[in-house]
Structure 1
Amino acid sequence: MRLRGTGEDMTEENTSAGTREWAGLAVLVLPCLLASMDMSVMFITLPSLTADLGPSGSEQLWIMDAYGFLLAGLLITMGTLGDRFGRRRVLLSGAVAFGAASVLAAFSTSAGMLIAARVLLGVAGATLAPSTLSLIRSMFHDAKQRATAVGVWTAGFAGGAVLGPIIGGLLLEHFWWGSVFLINVPVMILLLILGPLLLTEYRDPRPGRFDLLGAVLSLVAVLGVIYGVKAMAEHGFGWGPVAYCAAGLAVGAVFLRRQRTAANPLIDLRLFRTRWFSVPLLIGALDAFGLVGFSLFNWQFMQLVLGMGPLESALWSMPTFLVMPAGIALATTFAPRVGAPRVIAAGLLVATAGYVSLTLLQADSGILHLVGGMTVVSIGIGAVSAVVTEVILSAAPPERAGAASALAETSAEFGGALGIALLGSLGAAVYRAELAAEAPDALTSGELEAAGNTLGGAVETASALPGGTAEALRDAAFEAFAREARIASMVSAVLMAGAAVLIATLLRAPRRRASRADDPAFSDAPPRPER
């Protein structure tokens, strides 16, 4: 079915997506790639811009985190704005802002200016994910076609995360650090040209008044929790990070209370009454928890233990991206035949197998062991992400697709942040204990403390020690880090296996109609015409 119009006269007709819709999907993948790349490219760009701008330690953290903070905090607001004022309009407005902020970032002359640009990029980036995904919901009404389209969208986001360091490394070989931001501009110009031609506008015909107070509360709640979780990952558990998390949760409780009573809420909480929405949302968060959390160990193992440079390690991560479309294709092919719950459970078990193989990782393991395990994980996670996202979209009525898309992305952001914080904190405790037991006796207390903070600190400390002591410290640190990675992969494996049981247990019933129009949670929704 295709939706015609954007107002009260909106009608539906029985038709499959045509050439225009598939070409429009190709256009929608472009901002997905860039939004994801902008989160990962900073890892390889930071040393160059640090040498040029000389930011303080605190400023470095804000340069890295400002984009992700604002992106996570504004997803719900931007998704709702798209539903109310037009998804294409919000997407194209965000593209203009994203391109302008990219130019500002590229030519920043101070750390403060770059932080401001990263904030603006985060605000603009928050329009891209929910707008693109909700446009897919309104462009593809055939379930099989929509599943394929969501799979392509998922691959675009995954590809951006992998391609960011690779493209950034290639650009930094020949240009200054600002070039990694300027590549956004021509892509956004292309989106502004092709978007009006290929993307059909859609908005809720009866949106009601925008809940500005609710938008502020949601931003404060998400920022508080995300900031607190990231602070835990960097500094461990303490009163400060816990206070930020508690404040964010308290504001979140106020936000939810307002959503229950507001005439026109940002989020219709009735969405959560159906397990076809709430359970996949939880699964998406668990996926991100393991994948993003373990990436901390993945990159450090390649660069510090195996001694690879940033570009070399980024190139070795390519197999994880190349196999993900295979997992997505298999999932979207089999989901209509055997059911989404079985496919999601199978994908989770494949990811579990990958994490289990990583529980055997040793300090002297080669790159093939690490890449092989992560490749298996990526096949499973790719399959799960594509199907979970499609189930979430289908569980929500079309007029709420923007809010549903934003919730899916926000849950993934929370899952990833929790993965970094909890797996990082657990791993750090294991690393410190292991290194304290195995470090050479010749170390002073100060050297042992510096080496015990991080693996990078151990490598730096070893560089200033005599040959034999330095080698012994590096060996001990590498073994401690390998054990840290094994513990993290074990936790991830248990979570994936538990999620497989959860999805198989709670979503056993045959799937009902994708529109959910007959669900009691949406009893006031207008009935959709029969096919």
Structure 2
Amino acid sequence: MTEEEKRAGAGEWVGLAVLVLPCLLASMDMSVMFITLPSLSADLGPSSSEQLWIMDAYGFLLAGLLITMGTLGDRFGRRRVLLTGAAAFGAASVLAACSTSPETLIAARVLLGIAGATLAPSTLSLIRSMFHDAAQRATAVGIWTAGFAGGAVLGPIIGGLLLEHFWWGSVFLVNVPVMVLLLILGPLLLTEYRDPEPGRFDLLGAAMSLVAVLGVIYGIKTMAEHGFGWIPLMCCAAGLAVGAVFLRRQHGAANPVIDMMLFRTRRFNVPLLIDALATFGLVGFSLFNWQFMQIVLGMGPLESAVWSLPTFLVMPLGIALATALAPRIGKHNVIAAGLLVATAGYVMLALLRADSGIVHLVSGMTVVSIGIGAVSAVVTEVILSAAPPERAGAASAMAETSAEFGGALGIALLGSIGTAVYRSELAVSAPDDLTSKELEAARSTLGGAVETAAALPRGTAESLRNAAFDAFAREARIASVVSAVLMTGAAVLIATLLRTARTRPGPEAPRSAAEHHDGDRAGESALPG
């Protein structure tokens, strides 16, 4: 393939725009429920358990099926899987919008999760097959990353605007015209790609990967919401056990779900770890970010969503800088620099106090977003380039799955650390005239403290709120310090291990089908710089 033939034309870039849209919506559907839940709860009257399933069913199925759907795309056609998923996503959105009971809405959210799992790996792997030129592919992956990340920020904003004028079902119906557009333009603009020799699909392996991911994610999220307990611990243990058996089985499988040879190269496994760590801090700290705006600063959901816009608007800046600098100074150096920028943002947040104000919070999160945007774009492109073209779907799914695990761990671990700090701090600083029941309610959550204060005399109420806000600010500062330390460690890791991988390619090179594509991948597996 000549240099001219490798470069993508206008058709590919228009196709990229089509690919970004479903990813934007898939990401929006994860965050839009935060602002929609009060309205639909008032209408449908779900129990507390049903509310949790309405919130979590989508994310659980999405995380659990990413690997399976990525592998299906490699074997049966990425465009075919994408369009099938788009049709299912649109139909499930209509079902969700028309739900008249919690059970129907939960079922619709399950279907949305299954369909949504086809979108991210299919779109990302299609980018791998559409853009052969390394520089163009890096730009395309950056645009894709901005779209996927932007959906999480835009979800509450668009949801808030819709809820101002329409009923809660409108947040699901907005998906339908985009999916119809994808079904019309997809066959015209997207070239089909599949593994020419896929072999037999490993159904048992796919089922095991689903059970492993669901078990661990469910256990982690349950512990994040309710604290440590035997049931979530057993779910995590069972998921890890099934995952270990799954990985062992993949080593000897004739047609594995995951090409285990990929994990023998640092150019693949180190970026996966960095992806998880970057998401760990960003998603984990979002717990404190939203509560600070809505409870400490007293903002409404829509106002707080608007204030979060800068974190989305600067992300393309980080992506553009990373894409421009990577060919000049090396991808590993750009990733390390992005992590250090994120560290600087977390250091700013480590100075946050209850009376700091919105500018301090948004400034810190904006710096974090610039750094994480740079990291995410380059790390994703490195993972794609390290995998052979016929395994791009599975590699894309692994990248998304690692990010899901990172986010779940961030919520669980930072949430658990923060809760311990908050409870300890408030036990010391709460007003002395509280009853034991009032103190326990205030120590449970920040929202519990505000609710308890509402029923107290004015002086005691003000003292309790101030003490709770100070304790929460300390909780956020500790989470910021943990995130800053992790980002610094990740920067050292990427700068040392990937630099070593470049200078010692022999034992690190994957011995898979990638070796048959050296001509097409020249200069892609090795990190420039």
Aligned-partner residue type, residue 367 of structure 2: V
Q: Distance in 1 between matches of 2:460 and 2:300?
A: 25
* Contact 1:517/1:528, CA 8 A, preserved across alignment: no
Q: Distance in 2 between matches of 1:320 and 1:359?
A: 17
User: Following superposition of structure 1 onto structure 2, how do residues 25-40 of structure 1 map, counting pairs within 5 Å?
Assistant: 25-40=16-31
User: Following superposition of structure 1 onto structure 2, how do residues 17-416 of structure 1 map, counting pairs within 5 Å?
Assistant: 17-416=8-407
* Contact 2:264/2:509, CA 8 A, preserved across alignment: no
Task: State yes or no: 1:489 paired with 2:480.
Answer: yes
* Contact 1:165/1:310, CA 8 A, preserved across alignment: yes
List structure 1 runs of 4+ shifted beyond 6 angstroms: none
Matched with 1:526 is 516
Describe the shift of the 1:100–1:224 C-alpha distance in structure 2 as closer, same or farther (beyond 3 A). Answer: same
What's the CA shift for 1:297?
A: 0.2
Aligned-partner residue type, residue 209 of structure 2: S
Task: State yes or no: 1:438 paired with 2:429.
Answer: yes
Q: Distance in 1 between matches of 2:140 and 2:296?
A: 39
Q: Distance in 2 between matches of 1:260 and 1:277?
A: 17
What's the CA shift for 1:508?
A: 1.0
Matched with 2:525 is none
Q: Distance in 2 between matches of 1:309 and 1:302?
A: 8
* Contact 2:126/2:193, CA 8 A, preserved across alignment: yes
Task: State yes or no: 1:449 paired with 2:455.
Answer: no
Q: Distance in 2 between matches of 1:524 and 1:74?
A: 25
* Contact 2:388/2:514, CA 8 A, preserved across alignment: no
What's the CA shift for 1:158?
A: 1.0
Describe the shift of the 1:448–1:522 C-alpha distance in structure 2 as closer, same or farther (beyond 3 A). Answer: same
What's the CA shift for 1:52?
A: 0.3
Aligned-partner residue type, residue 519 of structure 1: A
* Contact 2:262/2:510, CA 8 A, preserved across alignment: no
Q: Distance in 1 between matches of 2:229 and 2:147?
A: 37
What's the CA shift for 1:518?
A: 10
CA deviation map 1:313-360 (0-9, x unaligned) = 000000000000000000001101110000000000000000001000
Matched with 1:507 is 498
Aligned-partner residue type, residue 400 of structure 1: R
Describe the shift of the 1:43–1:71 C-alpha distance in structure 2 as closer, same or farther (beyond 3 A). Answer: same
Q: Distance in 1 between matches of 2:463 and 2:348?
A: 27
Describe the shift of the 1:189–1:447 C-alpha distance in structure 2 as closer, same or farther (beyond 3 A). Answer: same
What's the CA shift for 1:523?
A: 6.8
Matched with 2:526 is none
Describe the shift of the 1:386–1:512 C-alpha distance in structure 2 as closer, same or farther (beyond 3 A). Answer: farther
* Contact 1:517/1:523, CA 8 A, preserved across alignment: no
- So what's the TM-score if we normalise by structure 2? 0.96
CA deviation map 1:454-491 (0-9, x unaligned) = 10111111111111111111001000000000000000
Describe the shift of the 1:105–1:522 C-alpha distance in structure 2 as closer, same or farther (beyond 3 A). Answer: same
CA deviation map 1:273-303 (0-9, x unaligned) = 0000000000000001000000000000000
Q: Distance in 1 between matches of 2:323 and 2:265?
A: 22
Unaligned runs of 5+ in 1: 3-11
1:14 partner SS: helix
What's the CA shift for 1:170?
A: 0.3
Q: Distance in 2 between matches of 1:424 and 1:245?
A: 17
Aligned-partner residue type, residue 118 of structure 1: R
* Contact 1:131/1:402, CA 8 A, preserved across alignment: yes
Q: Distance in 1 between matches of 2:134 and 2:503?
A: 12
What's the CA shift for 1:257?
A: 1.2
* Contact 2:21/2:178, CA 8 A, preserved across alignment: yes
Q: Distance in 2 between matches of 1:100 and 1:320?
A: 32
Matched with 1:5 is none
* Contact 1:451/1:461, CA 8 A, preserved across alignment: yes
Q: Distance in 2 between matches of 1:364 and 1:77?
A: 47
Q: Distance in 2 between matches of 1:50 and 1:152?
A: 36
Compute the RMSD of aligned alpha carbons.
Answer: 1.8
Q: Distance in 2 between matches of 1:510 and 1:414?
A: 25
Q: Distance in 1 between matches of 2:102 and 2:376?
A: 36
Task: State yes or no: 1:464 paired with 2:455.
Answer: yes
What's the CA shift for 1:110?
A: 0.4
CA deviation map 1:6-54 (0-9, x unaligned) = xxxxxx9933100100000000000010000000000000000000000
2:193 partner SS: coil
Q: Distance in 1 between matches of 2:262 and 2:185?
A: 33
User: Following superposition of structure 1 onto structure 2, how do residues 421-432 of structure 1 map, counting pairs within 5 Å?
Assistant: 421-432=412-423
Describe the shift of the 1:129–1:513 C-alpha distance in structure 2 as closer, same or farther (beyond 3 A). Answer: farther
Aligned residue pair count: 521
2:499 partner SS: coil
Q: Distance in 2 between matches of 1:199 and 1:456?
A: 48
1:55 partner SS: coil
Q: Distance in 2 between matches of 1:175 and 1:235?
A: 33
* Contact 1:517/1:527, CA 8 A, preserved across alignment: no
Aligned-partner residue type, residue 497 of structure 1: T
Aligned-partner residue type, residue 422 of structure 1: L
- So what's the TM-score if we normalise by structure 1? 0.96
* Contact 1:517/1:526, CA 8 A, preserved across alignment: no
Matched with 2:527 is none
Aligned-partner residue type, residue 455 of structure 1: L
Q: Distance in 1 between matches of 2:66 and 2:53?
A: 19
What's the CA shift for 1:528?
A: 4.0
* Contact 1:70/1:119, CA 8 A, preserved across alignment: yes
1:190 partner SS: helix
Aligned-partner residue type, residue 172 of structure 1: L
1:297 partner SS: helix
Aligned-partner residue type, residue 301 of structure 2: P
Q: Distance in 2 between matches of 1:513 and 1:505?
A: 12
